[in-house]
Structure 1
Amino acid sequence: MGSFLSFLTATYYLPKLYFADSQVYVRAKVSPNSEKDPVRLSLHEYIVNKCPSLLKPFRPAWWLYSGHLQTGYCVVGDFSQIDKVEYDRTLLRTVDGVVVVLHGLTGGSHEAYVRAILAPVCTPVEQGGLGYRGIVVNFRGCAGVPITSPQLYSAGHTDDIRVAIWHIARRYPRARLIGVGFSLGANVLTRYIAEEGIHCRLAAGCVLACPWDTVMNSEQLENHWLHRTVYSKAMAQNLQKLIRRHFTALSGFTDHPVSQTVHDVLALKSPTLVQFDDTVTRLAGGSSPPFPFATARDYYAWAASDKVLPDIRIPFLAISSEDDPIVQLIPVDAGGNGFVALAVTKKGGHLGWFEADQRFGRVNRWIRRPVVEWIRAACEDLIPEERDRKELHILDGFVTEVGREGIGCKEVAGGGHVVGVEDEEGLLAGL
């Protein structure tokens, strides 16, 4: 019955594809092992040829028919026994002294939406996967990563991803790098790719449920009772728990405002996200400048990613849902940039996109298919443009880039083998 209802509504849920009026062309192989001359395709043609799932309907499970239900299932669903991924963790110390070990607001490598992509990507070819390496960069303090400086993370701070990519590029100099970001991580990845422009070390990027206009999202979350009570407070609750986990370390930085801030934020009773950001993130969400900001709204205005879309210079796919209760604006004009494509589904919620499985009562994530197709095409079919990238070198033990010696990273002791769902009790998943 569920599958039948889903089928009846499928015609309404074909993803909509949006591209800029100005076209950009990429070179691609006819097929991964083709000896023929490469073809020249517009981004639209490239996606039609390489990502056929985006031309097929998304059929949400009939019992998850709204964005609220799709999003809620991300939190309450049990994904512990599917898409199992195990990691060998490397801890990186950045120049400012923080350990960084790339997700949503308070998630990490353990999240089900991360594993849903990494499982088929990293599964060996002989077992039906792509056989690629997968690397997740966890934000400071998330997924069991220690905090060793008063600086935290935010929707706009990109240096941690930047230096992590330097480390990866130096460790695997011949590997093609593809960036995938989820929710808050999607915002950070978008800004990073735009800031790097023609020098970006990634061959392609893909973001899911990006918040885009962080000012508008904040207003929606705070000005509507349901969004404020359910989503805003749930996200703030997760952030409070992260601060509590690292209270001893953060309160020890007595020469930084964060030492008092942690006391203030833990004293808040059921805060909203803007209250948390007004107390903590505007002060400690990145390096100075631009931090600290006068208010959370000032921080949101700075962190927005929709305004940087015109600066992207690699093939870039963004997938969003119209009924996402957390994301209120989707920049369907693609920033006027031919490198950018947006795929928008009518349903799917925030990082949900659950469809009915053939097994009764089970679900699959529809999003897995188009994202894996995009990754495979970017690794095997795309012929990236030659990039003028600056040399990476070691300075005082830190991997850094010529001309950017103020930031960098080096490996430190710790890490070890991590099973994807370990040590994350107490936080609401899927956010």
Structure 2
Amino acid sequence: MFTYCCENCDQSEGLDLGDVTLALCPGICNSSENTYIRSCVWLACHSGFRCAALNHIGTLNNVQVTSSRLFTYGGTAEYAAMVSKLMALHPDTKLILIGFSMGGNIVTKYIAECPFTANRFTLGISICQGYDAVQGATLLLQWNGLRRLYLYKITENMKKLLRSHYDKVVLPHVASGLVDEKKLWSSTNLLSLDDTYTRKVNGFNTVEEYYEFCSCRKLLSEISVPMVFINSVDDPLVPNSLWEIARKYAEEKPDMLLITPKHGGHLGFMEGSFFRPNSITWLDRLIIELCNAALKLYH
């Protein structure tokens, strides 16, 4: 279910960090094998941290799913299972929870939904998430910043995963009459795919109801753990209007921070030349700096 890296190397900046675990949650259709996860894990391990990265259901080609569905955009059960396993394996570890894009939404929801384990969490970091799936779905249909093109690509990636695990996650629902297979494969955007497949398989009456369930927006006030939100101003998928809700809470809550770099795109934050970017990104370094700062401040 998750990929585990425990080769703790030299402590960064000469700090005695103790036992610290970073629990990573990737973005939509992504897993521990994606480049941005691998580069973050590499730097974290070489900075003295243990890492675990969730593999969303259906995202690993060499692992067959055992459920009748893929991951959801806001379900926290799989991430919660990973964190629980980490706490059982390492009862004294300090946990830092980090989510990327869709994973940022899941991490935020999980922290808000689990106040009874909040004392185990040092920090939560959410990167490039959209907070409100209902509002975000409408914005993704627009052509501003080529969002509609990105949406088409994401939809095709979802369909690719569905085809990869067809016998488990599609065929039973087609056979039962729940899903119209022709409509499913003809979907050109996530709203259509989610209305035809995702919301039905997960037991929701409408796609709006499903998106409302997935959104962390309504739970931000419940967060009791220090939290950092990172949203770049030039993110083509997450326009500024979506992260204004995070700004509101960051202004009101002393342990909540919103960082809005001018550039970075959606999980980009590359450094170096255009043709030969550095393998370690600005975001990777920022994550380590935030982790070190939180450990100094709260421990």
Say yes or no: TM over 0.5. yes
Deviation at 1:260, TM superposition (A): 5.1
Choose the corresponding residue for 1:338, options 240, 244, 254: 254
* Match in the other structure for 2:200: 283
Over alpha carbons, which structure has the higher Rg?
1
- C-alpha distance in structure 2 between counterparts of 1:253 and 1:159, whole Å: 23
* Match in the other structure for 2:108: 190
- 1:106 equivalent to 2:29? Answer yes
* Match in the other structure for 1:317: 228
Deviation at 1:322, TM superposition (A): 1.2
1:324-373 superposed Cα distances (whole Å, 9 cap, x missing partner): 1111211211263332111001121111112335xx73223211221111
Deviation at 1:266, TM superposition (A): 4.7
- 1:219 equivalent to 2:130? Answer no
Residues 125-204 of structure 1 aligned to structure 2 (within 5 Å) = 130-144=47-61, 145-200=63-118, 201-204=120-123
8 A Cα contact 2:143 2:149, kept in partner: no
Deviation at 1:262, TM superposition (A): 7.6
Deviation at 1:275, TM superposition (A): 1.1
Deviation at 1:218, TM superposition (A): 0.9
| Structure (1 or 2) with the greater helix fraction | 2
1:238-280 superposed Cα distances (whole Å, 9 cap, x missing partner): 00000000001224546986x85383455315x1111111122
Identity rate, percent = 29
Query: What secondary structure sits across from 1:135 in the alignment?
Result: strand
8 A Cα contact 1:140 1:146, kept in partner: no
1:374-400 superposed Cα distances (whole Å, 9 cap, x missing partner): 12334x42435xxxxxxxxxxxxxxxx
Consecutive unaligned residues of structure 1, counting only runs of 5 or more, are 1-30, 35-101, 124-129, 285-290, 385-431
Query: What secondary structure sits across from 1:231 in the alignment?
Result: helix
In structure 1, give the amino acid aligned to 2:85.
H
1:126-150 superposed Cα distances (whole Å, 9 cap, x missing partner): xxxx132111111111123421121
Residues 199-348 of structure 1 aligned to structure 2 (within 5 Å) = 199-200=117-118, 201-224=120-143, 227=146, 229-251=148-170, 253=172, 261=179, 263-264=181-182, 266-268=184-186, 271-284=188-201, 291-328=202-239, 329-330=242-243, 331-334=246-249, 336-348=252-264
Consecutive unaligned residues of structure 2, counting only runs of 5 or more, are 1-13, 18-24
Choose the corresponding residue for 1:374, options 286, 290, 293: 290
- 1:383 equivalent to 2:298? Answer yes
In structure 2, give the amino acid aligned to 1:103.
P
8 A Cα contact 2:159 2:185, kept in partner: no
- C-alpha distance in structure 2 between counterparts of 1:303 and 1:135, whole Å: 23
- C-alpha distance in structure 1 between counterparts of 2:43 and 2:213, whole Å: 36
- C-alpha distance in structure 2 between counterparts of 1:349 and 1:33, whole Å: 34
8 A Cα contact 2:125 2:227, kept in partner: yes
What is the root-mean-square deviation in Å for CA atoms of aligned residues? 2.6
* Match in the other structure for 2:266: 350
